[in-house]
């Protein structure tokens, strides 16, 4: 009953915020007056909220128009349908929870296996390259999501008959949906297997991203983009866990960080679509279509992959695991059979069934039982600092407008993306030559602190010019490249195997929750007080991240081992 009322309240709040944008004016609406209907009622009356001129920002228009009355019956029916669906989902979850509490499946016996030796014999080749390509294509769409909504906001206002406040709220709701999806999908991947979540999340994102292109009204567009965010939020934790389980331990820390290049290329791709493609076609649907295209080949590649051997062995499917290892070896053209190495070694963790409670037990609660919570919280704090630093990447158009930099604005994103990818590759190379990921991460934090000081100084200059502005972007690209790739290496090293997807999902949820604050940062960026506070907060977070990395460096020296289960005593 409590769950039902909570879900109903959540649905009520969501619809109140989605279809009554005047409630989210955030204090900027100083005077609200209802316009009297004209003598001949030509059009349905609307409530208009007038704001003072001194509070207006580039992200907020002068009026906020509510939903016309003719759409109220449709919205009421839709609200009732969603309430019924939420109630049905709540009943299903309660029944599953009660069933899992009363019946448990016995553990499945399996032989002692050494997956690392098997994967070493299989080698690293075309199969792992296919996985990395599928992941990078999906991460391209993830990186383009927020940049695309941010850059296309002025054009969507006229095309969908909405306002800037509603679009800012849409970006916030999308990132909140990503954060919730990241945590829940990680637990599902640790319990039900990697491949179902790996495929369904990308299919969900691709479907609703393409459907949003044909949205006739704004609220349908909002619904499709939020559901797209649900699919994109489930990518990071599951993708990293699946790729790690197809790689030997010695190769994980330098292959997985390269996935971040897809995120950087996605942001550049979104900038290209808005700066070059939209002026040619003058249709807002074209950039959204182009940014949704990478999800289609990613889905095709994902559905052609196998479940990870570790997830199959956890369910007792030894024969299927041998088949997958043989397929990987044949694809990589290294050996024809891997049956000789599927002997000896430690047993893998046994899952006790496929239900909602075991979903949490196999993921987040497993990290608690194994005393790895301090690792998850430590990396989560680093993720918060990393996310706060990346907030400056999405406000580049506001910086250019403030400095009166007119011209080829697309050159700055290209310069930034190229330098970021270069420093990502250099940081990975340094990690392979003896440097620790912690040391490189600390160096990136200190460099970014200097960039923030330069940013505060540059903000006081009236007309800095393109040279100084590009120099600032170059320094920030160095800081991002030297912190992002070591961050993923730290996550791969520190998280246990049987809870890696949940741990990565929790860290990604923290990250996306902070990125959701970007509209608030952009709204206050034009004031001197907002600039000073932004630099102070970001600087403090970066120094805190560096100090925390120094204090917790000992965790790197003792990587967690997966939980071992003696099946002979079961």
Tens digits of residue pLDDT in 186-238: 888 887 888 888 899 999 999 999 999 988 888 889 899 999 999 998 998 88
Q: Is residue 71 located within the same domain as residue 164?
A: no
Residue 156 belongs to a domain: yes
What pLDDT does 459 receive?
60
Q: Rounded distance, CA 407 to CA 404, Å?
A: 10
Contact 259, 132 (CB under 8 A): yes
- What is the H or E stretch that residue 33 is in? strand 31-33
Which residues touch 166 (CB under 8 Å, ≥6 apart)?
21, 24, 64, 218, 222
Q: Rounded distance, CA 341 to CA 120, Å?
A: 10
Q: Is residue 192 located within the same domain as residue 84?
A: no
Total of domains in the chain: 3
Residue 102 belongs to a domain: no
Q: Rounded distance, CA 301 to CA 328, Å?
A: 15
Residue 185 belongs to a domain: yes
Contact 57, 523 (CB under 8 A): yes
At 133-184, the pLDDT tens digits run 999 999 999 988 878 888 888 888 888 888 877 888 888 888 888 888 888 8
Q: Is residue 192 located within the same domain as residue 334?
A: yes
Q: Rounded distance, CA 535 to CA 451, Å?
A: 10
Which residues touch 412 (CB under 8 Å, ≥6 apart)?
396, 400, 469, 470, 473
The answer for 518, left when phi > 0, alpha when psi is -120 to 50, beta otherwise, is: alpha
Q: Is residue 340 located within the same domain as residue 397?
A: no
Q: Rounded distance, CA 177 to CA 231, Å?
A: 9
Residue 506 belongs to a domain: no
> In this structure, what CATH number is given to the domain that contains residue 280?
1.20.1250.20
Domain that holds residue 489: 373-494+527-557
The pTM score is 0.72
- Tally Cβ neighbours within 10 Å of residue 479: 24
Contact 337, 326 (CB under 8 A): yes
Q: Is residue 83 located within the same domain as residue 125?
A: no
* Last-in-domain residue among 370, 401, 424: 370
Residue 531 belongs to a domain: yes
Q: Is residue 158 located within the same domain as residue 69?
A: no
Q: Is residue 236 located within the same domain as residue 384?
A: no
What pLDDT does 469 receive?
72
pLDDT, mean of each 10-residue run, the chain (570 residues): 46 43 38 46 40 37 42 56 55 46 40 69 85 92 85 84 81 86 84 87 92 88 90 90 88 85 89 87 89 92 88 80 85 57 43 44 53 66 72 65 63 81 85 76 76 65 65 78 83 78 83 75 54 62 69 58 42
What pLDDT does 534 receive?
60
Q: Is residue 384 located within the same domain as residue 365?
A: no
Q: Is residue 216 located within the same domain as residue 327?
A: yes
Q: Is residue 365 located within the same domain as residue 382?
A: no
What pLDDT does 31 receive?
39
What pLDDT does 297 receive?
93
Which of 480, 459, 443 lies closest to 534 in space, CA to CA? Answer: 459
Residue 230 belongs to a domain: yes
């Amino acid at each position: 009953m409590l769950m039902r009322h909570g879900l109903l309240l959540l649905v009520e709040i969501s619809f109140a915020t989605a279809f009554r944008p005047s409630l989210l004016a955030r204090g900027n609406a100083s005077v609200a007056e209802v316009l009297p209907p004209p003598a001949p009622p030509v059009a349905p009356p609307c409530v208009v909220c007038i704001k003072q001129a001194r509070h207006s920002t580039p992200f907020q228009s002068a009026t906020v128009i509510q939903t016309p009355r003719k759409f109220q019956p449709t919205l009421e029916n839709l609200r009732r349908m969603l309430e019924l669906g939420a109630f049905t989902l709540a009943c299903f979850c309660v029944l599953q929870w009660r069933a899992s509490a009363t019946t448990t499946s016995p553990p499945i016996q399996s032989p002692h296996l050494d997956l690392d030796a098997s994967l070493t014999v299989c080698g690293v080749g075309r199969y792992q390259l296919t996985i990395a390509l599928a992941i990078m294509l999906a991460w391209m769409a993830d990186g383009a999501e927020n940049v695309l909504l941010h850059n296309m906001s002025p054009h969507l206002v006229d095309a969908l008959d909405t306002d800037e406040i509603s679009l800012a709220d849409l970006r916030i709701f999308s990132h909140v949906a990503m954060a919730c999806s990241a945590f829940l999908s990680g637990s599902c991947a640790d319990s039900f297997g990697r491949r179902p979540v790996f495929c369904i999340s990308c299919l969900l994102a691709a479907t609703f991203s393409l459907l949003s292109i044909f949205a006739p009204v704004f609220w349908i567009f909002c619904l499709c983009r939020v559901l797209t965010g649900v699919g994109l939020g489930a990518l990071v934790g599951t993708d990293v866990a699946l790729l790690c389980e197809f790689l030997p331990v010695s190769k994980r820390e330098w292959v997985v960080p390269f996935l971040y290049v897809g995120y950087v290329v996605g942001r550049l791709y979104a900038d290209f679509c808005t700066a070059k493609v939209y002026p040619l076609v003058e249709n807002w649907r074209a950039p959204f279509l182009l940014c949704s295209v990478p999800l289609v080949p990613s889905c095709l590649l994902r559905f052609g992959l196998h479940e990870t051997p570790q997830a199959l062995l956890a369910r007792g499917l030894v024969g299927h695991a041998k088949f997958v290892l043989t397929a990987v070896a044949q694809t990589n053209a290294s050996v024809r059979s891997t049956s000789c190495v599927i002997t000896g070694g430690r047993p893998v963790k046994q899952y006790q069934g496929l239900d909602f409670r075991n979903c949490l037990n196999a993921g987040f609660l497993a990290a608690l039982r194994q005393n790895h919570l301090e690792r998850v919280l430590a990396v989560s704090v680093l993720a918060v600092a990393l996310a706060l630093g990346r907030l400056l990447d999405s406000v580049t158009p506001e910086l250019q407008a403030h400095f009166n930099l007119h011209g080829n604005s697309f050159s700055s994103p290209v310069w930034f993306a190229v330098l970021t990818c270069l420093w990502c590759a250099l940081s990975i190379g340094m990690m392979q030559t003896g440097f620790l990921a912690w040391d490189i991460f600390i160096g990136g934090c200190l460099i970014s602190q200097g960039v923030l000081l330069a940013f505060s100084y540059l903000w006081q200059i009236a007309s800095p010019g393109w040279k100084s502005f590009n120099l600032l972007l170059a320094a920030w690209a160095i800081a991002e490249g030297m912190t992002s790739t070591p961050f993923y290496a730290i996550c791969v090293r520190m998280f246990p195997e049987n809870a890696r997807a949940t741990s990565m999902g929790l860290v990604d949820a923290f990250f996306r929750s902070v990125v959701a604050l970007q509209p608030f940062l952009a709204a206050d960026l034009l004031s001197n007080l907002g600039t000073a506070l932004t630099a102070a907060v970001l600087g403090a977070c970066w120094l805190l991240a560096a100090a925390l990395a120094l204090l917790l460096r000992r965790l790197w020296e003792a990587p967690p081992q997966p939980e071992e289960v003696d099946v002979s005593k079961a």
